[in-house]
Structure 1
């Protein structure tokens, strides 16, 4: 069915039907709802190109991924984020444009995107300390929302983030309350904002309890299973090994658990683990009872929130530079217990 046929069924002009479907304010709520229900009943889908011409917009959102981080393309965290964002794009009639670029050409990619006008805005992934992309995007005037934040940036920008510092402070306090004092930190790359904030939360909790920070039981690297495994084996082989680990990723935590198994140590009894859980679709944290005690925050939900915020900014529906800080939930699982004597 096309627009003309739908308009004929409703007894309305094509212009009125188009404006109702695209949310124009001059169309009454009663008419808008009538058109929406008819469109659903007759399985009508607006023509993307026609909608773009009518609104003067590309009706697309961009995601730029540097080649050096091409692992993001198969990273389940990125995949869940895109799945969440995609739900919003479909509902709002937007398409997604994914651009993979060489590391030293990322700035050029954003400038080309702006000049071509093939997207209405972009999502910024993996913000770093003083991330230069924020100043660039403000300079060229391309609407954007950051998934995360950039420590040290004095720019105005929109972002959606989880309270990583508070989450890891709570996780550390939980282990300290169980009597653990030697707590290792297996973190992500610490030029990344989330990892900076998670380390800060860990250190804050330890310092408040009067426990000296020991960098010999702290690690920072790309968050993979093998990294978690090797880091745990190395830390546990040293004198005065820790009785607990705080880990920045469920994937790394699986590696830590494998290291404990290799060493004949029982998780939750000999060594405790608290991890961060992005509530990944393909990697659930157990069934009724969580396997890992975890600070939980859905990256899929974050994808929905980021994309919705960006589209609303593009539409002028909300104030400039909105922000949203999500709190992680601490879920107690089978991976933690009192510190061993």
Structure 2
């Protein structure tokens, strides 16, 4: 089915249908939903070449991944984000352009995308503290949305983030309420903004209970199962071991659970464990009943929303950059319980 045939089915002009599918704000939400539903029903797919010729756009969205984070290409969290974004790209007639480049060539990659007009916008992953990519992309004039935020960046830019500080404060408070004082933090790389905020949330919860922070109970590294395992081993084998652990993702939490079980301990009874990022399509936190207590936020939904925000920005570049902060939901599972020893 082509655009004219879909327009005839709906009794709308081709311009209205095209604008509805591309997220133009002047089309009402009722009309947009009707058009999107009909496009799905009749399996309509926009001719991206024709769209590009008509609008002067490439009809592609860029994602630049440096080699040092190449593991993200097979990370279940990154894959879920891309799956969510891809749903929106497909619906709106956009292709995805993934560029994997050496770290030292990342700036050049963005400049080349701008010079060639290869993409209409980009999504920035893994923002660091005072991330230089934000100023670069602003100077290049490429529409962009950051998945996360960058502390100490004063430029206005579009972002979507989870309230990481509040999520980890809430996780630590949950354990403190159970009487835990020796709470270990298995964090992501703390040059990353999200991990920096998570540590602040953890520390603020301890401070509110007048519990001094112990550097021996804090680890920072890649969010992998082996790193979670080794960090948990270290903290469980101390003379005064951790009685509870907070993991940066369900992936290192699996490693922490392995360390707990190897020592003949029972998760939730002898050692409590709470994680973030448990709502992952290909690695669910149990089937209906959670395995881990977790601070939950859907990365797939974040991918969808970042893609929508970027396409809206491409359509209406004069609008003020959108900024959204999502709260995580505390989900209670059997992995946490009262402290049995201090």
TM-score, normalised by the number of residues in structure 1: 0.92
Query: For the residues of structure 2 that align with 1:56 and 1:80, how far apart are their CA atoms?
Result: 30
The answer for the alignment partner of 2:94 in structure 1 is 94
**Aligned pair in 2 of structure 1 residues 49, 229: CA closer, same or farther (>3 Å)?**
same
What corresponds to 1:20 in structure 2? 17
Q: Would the alpha carbon gap of residues 212 and 25 (structure 1) be closer, same or farther in structure 2, given more than 3 Å must change? A: closer
SS of residue matched to 1:22: helix
Matched residue SS, 2:151: coil
Partner of 2:332: 332
For the Cα contact (< 8 Å) 1:278–1:299, is it kept in 2? no
Q: Distance in 2 between matches of 1:333 and 1:12?
A: 51
Separation in 2, partners of 1:220, 1:45: 45
Alpha-carbon distance between aligned partners in 2 of 1:217 and 1:133, rounded to the nearest angstrom: 33
Q: Is the 8 A contact 2:7 2:14 kept in 1?
A: no
1:257-306: CA deviations, max 9, x gaps?
Answer: 10011111110011100111241111111123211000000000000111
Contact 1:21 1:35 in 2 (8 A): no
CA contact (8 A) 1:260 1:266 kept: yes
1:138 aligns with 2:135: no
1:22 Cα offset (Å)? 3.2
Shift of 1:35: 7.6
What is residue 226 of structure 1 aligned with on the other side? Answer: 226
2:66–2:106 contact (8 Å) kept in structure 1 = yes
CA distance in 2, matches of 1:7, 1:274: 49
Question: Structure 2 matches for 1:51-90, cutoff 5 A?
Answer: 51-90=51-90
Return the alpha-carbon distance in structure 2 between the equivalents of residues 33 and 273 of structure 1.
42
Aligned: 1:158 with 2:158: yes
TM-score by length of 2: 0.92
Is the partner of 1:324 in helix, strand or coil? strand
User: Partners in 1 of 2:97 and 2:32 — Cα distance?
Assistant: 29
Whether contact under 8 Å (2:6, 2:44) holds in the other structure is no
| Residues 213-251 of structure 1, C-alpha deviations (whole Å, 9 max, x = no match) | 000111001111111111111111111111100111101
Answer with 23-32 or 170-179: which moved more.
23-32
Give the distance between the partners of 2:6 and 2:68, measured in 1 at CA: 50
Higher-Rg member (1/2): 1
Q: Which residue number in structure 2 is paired with residue 244 of structure 1? A: 244
SS at match of 2:212: coil
Secondary structure of the 2:58 match is: coil
Does the Cα contact within 8 Å between 2:277 and 2:299 map onto a contact in 1? Answer: no
Point out 4+ residue stretches in structure 1 off by more than 3 angstroms: 1-4, 7-13, 22-44
- Equivalents in 2 of 1:76, 1:200: separation in Å? 26
Q: Distance in 1 between matches of 2:117 and 2:186?
A: 42
Task: Give the number of equivalent residue pairs.
Answer: 338
Partner of 2:284: 284
C-alpha distance 338-62 of structure 1, shift in aligned 2 (>3 A) = same
RMSD, aligned CA: 2.6
> Which stretch of the first structure deviates more once superposed, 232-241 or 163-172?
232-241
> For the Cα contact (< 8 Å) 1:65–1:100, is it kept in 2?
yes
Q: State yes or no: 1:182 paired with 2:182.
A: yes
**1:37-52 superposed matches below 5 A:** 43-52=43-52
